[in-house]
Amino acid sequence: MKIVIGTDLSENSLDAARQGFAMAERMHREDDPAEVYVAYVEGQGTWYPQVGTTTILDDPDNRRRMEAQVHEFLEEHLGEELEGKLDYELILEEGRASKKLPEIVDRLAADWLVVGQSGQGALARLVAGSTVEKLSHRPPCNLAIAHSNGVDWASRPTILVGIDFSEASEKALNLAIDLAEQASARLHILHVVYPPGPIALPDGLVGYAGGEYQEVSAVRERARGEMEVLVDKRQTRLDDIDWTSEVVTGYPTREIVGYAEDNDIDAIVVGTVGRSAMDDFLLGSVASGVVKHMPCTVLLTPPAH
């Protein structure tokens, strides 16, 4: 297993380093050892003109200084926490992090990319977008966006996976089960019936607007049936996991975030469909919404191919 931890020497990237190393330590196996890479992307080359074709990192002295800076940053802030943890390999790149990190992941054939929450304000994200938001639209591999609350992977964390019975959400469920097995975690499986707005029907019935008008209770019952089918296919693996499932009605992002807050969830797993940022802006995206309002660490699966 290969885990890439992205750092920009910010406080948020310390959360990514803590959780990335903790995840690697928990998932390390003799037959599948965890390899950790810390990636620092120098962005100056993106914004400032270079003399000739030489870039900042082409200068060996610059490269050595940057390597020392990253090592010292991790040692200063996480020295005791990283003591006894797995060793890491440092990777330096130059350019835009949102472009370079996926290239690093692809080159290493990495299983996980771990980054910290965006520290930009809403206006900055609206104008330019953050690295995290760009990565979350189309993750290059499993993407962990570390929350400051952290995930204690060594102490039976609680994982929530949101499903909508799509191929993307089945990938998310499979990942959640993998993590629950590896970390002895408690697993919550949640489906949200949407939209929640009641529609008055003849004879005093309340309808659900989802194509043909149907009674909400009928839609929820059908969702429970689909949930049973989904679970039955994975029953052998779930037998060894402490898990529960629930069907609720509401707006998916709001219900997932609210459920996580109400049930002390440590990590939310959501599938992505690979839409562009403009698509998400126009149509809305559950994954993007959860990332924007994340109450805990969020784990995203890459788009299904």
Dihedral, 86, 87, 88, 89 alpha carbons, nearest 10: -150
pLDDT for position 83: 82
pLDDT for position 214: 54
Largest Cα–Cα distance in the chain?
Answer: 79
Q: pLDDT band at residue 280, thresholds of 50, 70 and 90?
A: very low
Same domain, 48 and 188: no
Same domain, 136 and 102: yes
The burial class, CB within 10 Å (0-12 / 13-18 / 19+), for 231 is: middle
Cα(141)–Cα(301) distance, integer angstroms: 7
Cα(123)–Cα(127) distance, integer angstroms: 6
* pLDDT higher than 60, residue 277: no
Q: Provide the mean pLDDT of the chain.
A: 84
pLDDT for position 223: 87
Among 84, 113, 146, residue at a domain's last position = 146
Same domain, 258 and 303: yes
pLDDT for position 146: 95
Same domain, 185 and 231: yes
Cα(62)–Cα(68) distance, integer angstroms: 10
Question: How many structural domains does the chain have?
Answer: 2
Same domain, 231 and 276: yes
Over residues 143-164, the pLDDT tens digits come to 999 999 889 898 899 999 999 8
Helices 11-27 and 167-183 cross at an angle (nearest 10°) of 70
* pLDDT higher than 60, residue 289: yes
CA-closest candidate to residue 74, choices 129, 14, 154: 14
Residue-number span of the structural domain to which 162 is assigned: 152-305
Among 146, 161, 189, residue at a domain's last position = 146
Residues 17 and 90: beta-carbon distance below 8 Å: no
Cα(112)–Cα(142) distance, integer angstroms: 5
Percent of the chain's residues with pLDDT above 90 = 54
* pLDDT higher than 50, residue 167: yes
Q: Which residue has the higher pLDDT, 80 or 259?
A: 259
Over residues 106-127, the pLDDT tens digits come to 999 999 999 998 754 444 344 3
CA atoms within 13 A on the CB side of 50: 14
Same domain, 301 and 158: yes
Q: Averaged over 223-231, what is the pLDDT? A: 90
pLDDT for position 205: 55
Cα(179)–Cα(82) distance, integer angstroms: 22
Alpha carbon separation from 263 to 244, 257, 299 (Å, rounded):
12, 10, 17
Q: Which residue has the tokens 């309808």?
A: 207
Same domain, 135 and 184: no
Same domain, 85 and 170: no
pTM for the model stands at: 0.85
CA 90 to chain centre: 22
Return the beta strands (E) in the chain as ranges: 2-7, 35-42, 88-94, 112-116, 142-146, 158-163, 186-193, 199-200, 206-210, 212-215, 242-249, 267-271, 297-301
CA atoms within 13 A on the CB side of 178: 13
- DSSP code per residue over 245-294: EEEEES-HHHHHHHHHHHTT-SEEEEE-----HHHHHHH--HHHHHHHT-
Q: Averaged over 209-237, what is the pLDDT? A: 79
Q: Which residue has the higher pLDDT, 281 or 165?
A: 165
Q: Averaged over 245-251, what is the pLDDT? A: 90
Residues 171 and 271: beta-carbon distance below 8 Å: yes
Instruction: Give the domain CATH number at 160.
Output: 3.40.50.620
Among 90, 116, 146, residue at a domain's last position = 146
Q: Count each helix (H run) and each strand (E run) in the chain, helices first.
A: 12, 13
Q: Averaged over 185-214, what is the pLDDT? A: 66
Cα(81)–Cα(86) distance, integer angstroms: 11
